[in-house]
Amino acid sequence: MKLDPRVKMALAVCLTIIVFLPLSVYGIAIYTAISIIFSLLLQGLSGTLRSLRSLGLFLVLIILMSPLMERSGQVLINLGAFHLLYRDGLVLALATAFRFVSISMAFSSLLGSSTQIEILMSLYALGLGRRSCLVISLTLSFIPFIGESFKRINESQKLRLGEDGHFSRWLFASLVSALVMTLRSTAPRAMALESRGCMLTGKLTGLVKLQSPLRAVLQTLALAAGFAVSYIGVRLI
C-alpha cells in the first residue's frame, strides 16, 4: 500500500494516542492488531517480522517486570505463601506489552516504508524549520551508519575470536567501537554538512514529490474519523 508520508505520520500519531485512551485490554489488543495489519500493508511480511523480532527482548522484560508492579485483585498464581501473580498485574502487563507493540509497529512501518528524504520533506511541508529538519536528517542517516558499523565490527570480532569469544565480550566491545567510530566521524560529517549547504536558510527541495496538501489533509481526516468511530465501537463492545 502506498501512502503519503504525512498521512503515515498522522497514522502513527493516531495509533500512539488511541492506545492511551481509556480502553480495556481487549480494546488495546484490537488496536495492536490494527497496527500490525498497517505494518504488513506498508512494509510487508519480512519488514514486520524484523520489527517484531527486535521488540522480543523488551517484551520479555515487560511481561516479567510489570506484574510485580500491580499487586491487587484476584490472585492467579501462588508460590508457596507468596502471591506471585495477581489478575490486575496480568492485565497491566498485557496492556503495557500491547501498547509497546502498537506504538513500535506504527513508527517502524513509517520508517520502514519511507526514505529519509520522504520523511524530511514531509516534516518540512508540515512547517518544521530547516534546523530541526537537519537534526532529524542527521539522526536518520546516523542510524544505518551505526548499525552497519556495529555489524562489521561484530563480524570482525567473530573472525578474530571464532567460537572462543564470549557473547557479552563481543557485544560490549562492538557497541563501544561502533560508538567510537560514530564519534570520530562527527567532524568529517559536520564538514560534509557544511559543504552540501545543509545549514542554509531558504527553501528546501528534494527528489520526492509529495501529493497535494489537500489530498493529504483529506486522507488524514478520513483516517482520524476512522479511528474516532472505531474507538466508540470498541468502547461500546
Partner 1 sequence: MKSLAVNNLSFNYKGCQRTLDGLSLKLERGEKLFVLGLPGSGKTTFLRCLAGFLPAFVKGDIEGSAVFEGKELLNADTQSSLGTLSLVGQNPEEQFLCTTVSDELACAFGNQGMPVQKLGELVDWGLAAYDLEKQRNQDLLSLSGGQKRRVLLAIDAMLGCPLRLYDSFYDGLDEKWKAIATRSIIESDATCICMSSRIDQSARLFSSFALLKDGKLTRVPDFQSLEARVDLSIQPGLQRRQREPVMLQASDLEISYRGGFDLKVPSLRVRTGETVGLFGENGSGKTSLARVLCGLDKVRSGKVICESRIGYLFQNPDYQIFLPTVMDELCYPSKPARLSRARKARVEEALKAFGLAPDAIATMLPPSSRKALQAAVYYVLDRPICILDELEASLDFQSAMRMLRLLESTGAGILLITHDKALQSLCSRVYQIEDGIVKEVVHEA
**How far apart are CB 207 and partner 1 at their closest, in Å?**
5
187 belongs to the binding site for partner 1 (CB under 8 A) = yes
Using only the alpha carbons of the chain, give its radius of gyration. Answer: 22
Q: Looking at 27-35, 45-53, 86-94, 150-158, which segment touches partner 1 (CB under 8 A)? A: 150-158
CA dist., res. 223 & res. 8, Å (int):
10
Closer residue to partner 1, CB minimum distance, 69 or 148: 148
Kindly tell me the sign of the dihedral angle through the C-alpha atoms of 211, 213, 215, 221. Answer: positive
**How far apart are CB 15 and partner 1 at their closest, in Å?**
24
Closest CA to 11 of 105, 98, 85: 105
CA dist., res. 156 & res. 51, Å (int):
25
Closest CA to 208 of 114, 142, 132, 128: 114
CA dist., res. 112 & res. 34, Å (int):
17
Q: Looking at 1-9, 85-93, 102-110, 175-183, which segment touches partner 1 (CB under 8 A)? A: 175-183
Q: How many residues does the chain have?
A: 237
**How far apart are CB 177 and partner 1 at their closest, in Å?**
4
139 belongs to the binding site for partner 1 (CB under 8 A) = no
Closer residue to partner 1, CB minimum distance, 22 or 196: 196
Give me 193's grid cell. 554538512
**How far apart are CB 130 and partner 1 at their closest, in Å?**
9
The terminus-to-terminus CA distance of the chain in angstroms comes to: 29
Question: What single DSSP character describes residue 162?
Answer: G
- Total residues contacting partner 1 by CB under 8 A comes to 53
Q: Which of 16, 177, 211, 230 binds partner 1 (CB under 8 A)?
A: 177
65 belongs to the binding site for partner 1 (CB under 8 A) = no
169 belongs to the binding site for partner 1 (CB under 8 A) = yes
Q: Which of 193, 211, 224, 230 binds partner 1 (CB under 8 A)?
A: 193
192 belongs to the binding site for partner 1 (CB under 8 A) = yes
Which residues neighbour 223 within 8 Å (Cβ) at sequence distance 6 or greater? 7, 10, 11, 14
Rule CB under 8 A: which residues touch partner 1?
A: 115-117, 137-138, 140-141, 144-145, 148-149, 152-153, 155-162, 164-165, 169, 173-174, 176-177, 180-181, 184-185, 187-200, 202-207, 209
